[in-house]
A and B are shown apart, each in its own frame.
Chain A
Amino acid sequence: MASGTHAFDDFPARPLGRRYGLGSKHMWTRNRFPFLWLMPVLLPVLLFIGVPVAHAFWTSLHQVMLLFPGEPFVGLDNYARVLDTNYFRTAMWNSVWFMVLAAPLVVAIGTAIAHFLQSRFAGSTIIRSVVLLPWVLPGAISAVLWIWVFHPSFGIINGLLKQIGAIDASIQWLNSPDLAFYCVLIAHVWTQIPFAVILVMAALAAINGETIEAATIDCRSGWRRFRYIVFPEIKAMIVVLVVYNALVAFTTYDLVYAMTGGGPGTATTLLAFQIWRESFAMYDFGAGAALAFIMVVVAAALIVAITRALPSDLFGERPS
């Protein structure tokens, strides 16, 4: 029997009327009214995703300035206007660069930590719990924590650097256009690592123990064992994580809002933050919605590009 098919698909050819007649026991099969059965799921999706997205698209085609009385149709004017601003170009560049740096960093560090935590040692259970801590902290709390870490007068980093004599004067981590971006990046990576650790640990746990045992006997180099035995087994998970983290990094907002407010100047202004600024600080919901749709298109294109750039055998069927 072909795998993945349902028993209802295997009916012998019989006249439709007899198969699905009112008195038939198959009257309410899922093949009879597929949309009806899907309605309980589709309706909320339509209501909570379809309607807001459609409304946002409508907004992007109208002049929706909260302080103006009417909402006239303006076609693609909002799109043209936001594309023409310096803020957009800077935000786009910052977002892409942020994504390019953040996604691989999260996955690489997460994989390394997960690999390390696979081994049993004294206190490993406690360390596993501690590693998950950043995950349970809301973004705003994480931001406050990192603001204090980077604080010029009271921050631990400047304190340590001064103690070891590496610097005489405090470094203005979050107030320097050259450094603020990387500070936010560090904070972002820190918040995302736990999720990567969990997923990679799950993938590592699924590897056949005998395979690892055999590899340990055959190959003494830990790196080569990881490269040729472990990595191929968790490759699919790594790809999922890269794509997921690319999306999260590209759309991140809360840390930027709370840590730097997009500044200094535009140094940490990412697209998602610019959407907020257009909509809520400048009351221009039309421009904000247009920017949001541009962001969706760019994100989709980037994800397609990432998945296409990856080896084609990643999600191939396992040999039976």
Chain B
Amino acid sequence: MKRLLAGALVGGGLLAVQPAMAEDITLEFVVWNYSLSTIQDNIRMFEEQSPGIKVNLTDYAWPDYQDSMVLRFRGNTRTDVIYGGQDWLPAWASAGWLAPLDDIAPPDTLETLKSEMAGFALSDVTYDGEVYGLPYYADTISFIYNQAILDEHDIEVPGTWDEVMQAAEKLKEAGMDRPIVYEYNQELPNFFDAFVAQVYGRGGDLFNEELNAVFDDPDNAAFQHLQWLREAFEKELVQPENHESNIITTMNTGQHAFTVVYNYVLAAMNNAGEQPLAGQFALAPMPGEEGATLGFAKFYAVTADAAADPERAEAAWKFIEFMAGQPYTVAKRWAVEDGLGFAQLPLLEDQDVVDAWGTWTDMQTHAAQVESARAGTWTEWTAVWTAYFRPLLASAMVGEITVEDAMTQGAERWNMLQEQFANR
């Protein structure tokens, strides 16, 4: 009887303890709302192979993402793993909101992942010499044209911005209202990124090696390109669109020949199941003397708050390793199913990726573009500055202010912020 009682007590005690032992770690994962069903399915797969770890997903719309994240950080809302962006990383890392992966990842694994990452992407996930993220996707900004329209009007694929202007004018004379579609939304980071990509195409940069603003010099490529854009707007060659999703539809009307947009948009334009002119659109090197473009990486990052708790840190690392680490299953899935670019270079040789991408782009041109892509100049104040500079760019394009005013005011603001952040 005593044994039975003792057994019951021990058993009861174990049962009482059991829930605590088996308590799951729940990671708070925050994303912008691109293809949520795929994200949820990836989480489901991770949870299946990682007993004891649950992932709670929160999403925000892309235009609201930055504000929402800043408020989460400032409000100490529990956040463990996030989507990060190259333009926000220096600010968020220097504010102490994100943790370097060196603190939580096995060094060998991290080194291997770094060695297989495209150069511009590695630059984008690195701040102050430390890696803060693994790429969710990495892409380039691309110059896209409608091959059928160019063939019909006997126009060569333009290699410089002057040639783009000449081609657009020729098309306009032939009856095309506005041959160039341009993503014109001054509140989106894309608006600035696309401008930088075009400047890189010309072989220029907005800043020198000392991080001084040089774009207010009339001889600078950025200055010249803004003048080019203003001229194109003045000649009514440009059809502005406020979002990339509208560009897909607009280009598929067959009334426009050129656009500059994130590369994955080409996949959507050439989607035979949804678009009437699928197959007509092709990728060309960014016009300009150098033909380079902007490459960028969006990435999974771990918050400093999560990194400070060993259990959560371990779970967070497992999660982002699943999402972005070898064998790159999730990155490959994004590439194959959605046409998202990738920073994991071995995927360039992956037959499934090559086959899938071959249906909507020329892989050789793409590989060459990735190779020549340059990372942007991202400092602690870049995100703040671009919020100020984008409306200036937009104003100058449509003739509300002069190019000189836009560039001068932009440079002054850059210098002021640079000084302000140096003395903070």
List chain A positions with a Cβ less than 8 A from chain B: 65-69, 86-87, 147, 151-154, 169-170, 172, 174-177, 257, 261-267, 269, 277, 280-284
Q: How far is the CA of A172 from the CA of B186 in the complex (A)?
A: 16
Which residues on the A side are within 8 Å of B396 (C-beta)? Answer: 265
Q: How far is the CA of A280 from the CA of B64 in the complex (A)?
A: 9
Task: Assess whether B177 is in contact with A265, with CB atoms less than 8 Å apart.
Answer: no
Q: How far is the CA of A86 from the CA of B380 in the complex (A)?
A: 24
Contact segment of B2-10, B235-243, B343-351, B369-377: B235-243
Task: Assess whether A67 is in contact with B387, with CB atoms less than 8 Å apart.
Answer: no
Which residues on the A side are within 8 Å of B424 (C-beta)? Answer: 65, 67-69
Task: Assess whether A170 is in contact with B387, with CB atoms less than 8 Å apart.
Answer: no
Task: Assess whether A282 is in contact with B395, with CB atoms less than 8 Å apart.
Answer: no
| A303, chain B: closest CB distance, angstroms | 29
Task: Assess whether A283 is in contact with B186, with CB atoms less than 8 Å apart.
Answer: no
Q: Does B95 contact A (CB under 8 A)?
A: yes
B 377-401 contacts with A by CB, 8 A: 380-381, 383-384, 387-388, 391-392, 394-401
Say yes or no: A153-B387 contact (C-beta < 8 A), given A67-B91, A67-B95: no
Interface centre among B188, B387, B388, B391 (most CB of A within 10 A): B391
Say yes or no: A266-B187 contact (C-beta < 8 A), given A153-B239, A283-B70, A283-B384: no
Q: How far is the CA of A169 from the CA of B239 in the complex (A)?
A: 11
Task: Assess whether A175 is in contact with B184, with CB atoms less than 8 Å apart.
Answer: yes
Task: Assess whether B387 is in contact with A277, with CB atoms less than 8 Å apart.
Answer: yes
Which residues on the A side are within 8 Å of B240 (C-beta)? Answer: 152, 172, 175
| B191, chain A: closest CB distance, angstroms | 9
Q: Does B255 contact A (CB under 8 A)?
A: yes
Task: Assess whether B380 is in contact with A67, with CB atoms less than 8 Å apart.
Answer: yes
Task: Assess whether B394 is in contact with A153, with CB atoms less than 8 Å apart.
Answer: no
| B399, chain A: closest CB distance, angstroms | 8
Q: How far is the CA of A174 from the CA of B380 in the complex (A)?
A: 33
Say yes or no: A265-B384 contact (C-beta < 8 A), given A66-B74, A67-B91, A170-B177: no
Q: How far is the CA of A176 from the CA of B236 in the complex (A)?
A: 11
Q: How far is the CA of A170 from the CA of B240 in the complex (A)?
A: 12
Q: Does B67 contact A (CB under 8 A)?
A: yes
Chain B residue at minimal CB-CB distance from A260:
B242
Chain A residue at minimal CB-CB distance from B256:
A153
Q: Does B227 contact A (CB under 8 A)?
A: no
Task: Assess whether A265 is in contact with B94, with CB atoms less than 8 Å apart.
Answer: no
Which residues on the B side are within 8 Å of A264 (C-beta)? Answer: 184, 186, 394-395, 397-398, 400
Task: Assess whether B387 is in contact with A282, with CB atoms less than 8 Å apart.
Answer: yes
Which residues on the B side are within 8 Å of A284 (C-beta)? Answer: 384
Q: Interface 1/0s, chain B 170-190, versus A by CB < 8 A?
A: 000000011000001111100
The one of B67, B392, B399 in contact with A280, judged by C-beta atoms closer than 8 angstroms, is B67
Task: Assess whether B391 is in contact with A153, with CB atoms less than 8 Å apart.
Answer: no
Which residues on the A side are within 8 Å of B58 (C-beta)? Answer: none
Q: Does B359 contact A (CB under 8 A)?
A: no
Say yes or no: A261-B94 contact (C-beta < 8 A), given A66-B70, A153-B250: no
**30 sampled A-B residue pairs with Cβ under 8 A:** A66-B70, A66-B74, A67-B94, A67-B381, A67-B421, A67-B424, A87-B391, A147-B242, A151-B246, A153-B255, A169-B177, A172-B240, A175-B184, A257-B187, A261-B185, A261-B187, A261-B188, A262-B187, A262-B391, A263-B185, A264-B395, A264-B397, A264-B400, A265-B186, A265-B395, A265-B398, A269-B391, A281-B187, A281-B384, A283-B384
Task: Assess whether A266 is in contact with B70, with CB atoms less than 8 Å apart.
Answer: no
Chain B residue at minimal CB-CB distance from A148:
B246
Interface centre among B186, B399, B421 (most CB of A within 10 A): B186
Q: How far is the CA of A283 from the CA of B246 in the complex (A)?
A: 29
Q: How far is the CA of A169 from the CA of B238 in the complex (A)?
A: 12
| B8, chain A: closest CB distance, angstroms | 52
Q: Interface 1/0s, chain B 150-170, versus A by CB < 8 A?
A: 000000000000000000000
| B304, chain A: closest CB distance, angstroms | 14
Say yes or no: A153-B253 contact (C-beta < 8 A), given A266-B400, A283-B384: yes
Task: Assess whether A282 is in contact with B384, with CB atoms less than 8 Å apart.
Answer: yes
Which residues on the B side are within 8 Å of A261 (C-beta)? Answer: 185-188, 242
Which residues on the B side are within 8 Å of A87 (C-beta)? Answer: 391
Which residues on the B side are within 8 Å of A68 (C-beta)? Answer: 424
Task: Assess whether A280 is in contact with B70, with CB atoms less than 8 Å apart.
Answer: yes
Q: How far is the CA of A170 from the CA of B256 in the complex (A)?
A: 13
Task: Assess whether B398 is in contact with A177, with CB atoms less than 8 Å apart.
Answer: yes
Which residues on the A side are within 8 Å of B184 (C-beta)? Answer: 175, 264
Which residues on the A side are within 8 Å of B66 (C-beta)? Answer: 280-281
Q: How far is the CA of A66 from the CA of B184 in the complex (A)?
A: 28
B 82-118 contacts with A by CB, 8 A: 91, 94-95
Which residues on the B side are within 8 Å of A66 (C-beta)? Answer: 70, 74, 95
Which residues on the A side are within 8 Å of B401 (C-beta)? Answer: 265
| A294, chain B: closest CB distance, angstroms | 19
Which residues on the B side are within 8 Å of A86 (C-beta)? Answer: 409
| B416, chain A: closest CB distance, angstroms | 11
| A107, chain B: closest CB distance, angstroms | 31
Which residues on the B side are within 8 Å of A147 (C-beta)? Answer: 242
Which residues on the B side are within 8 Å of A282 (C-beta)? Answer: 384, 387-388
Task: Assess whether A265 is in contact with B253, with CB atoms less than 8 Å apart.
Answer: no
Q: A261-B186, A264-B184, A282-B388 are in contact. List 7 more A-B contacts (CB 8 A).
A: A67-B381, A153-B253, A261-B187, A264-B394, A265-B396, A281-B187, A283-B384
B 398-419 contacts with A by CB, 8 A: 398-401, 409
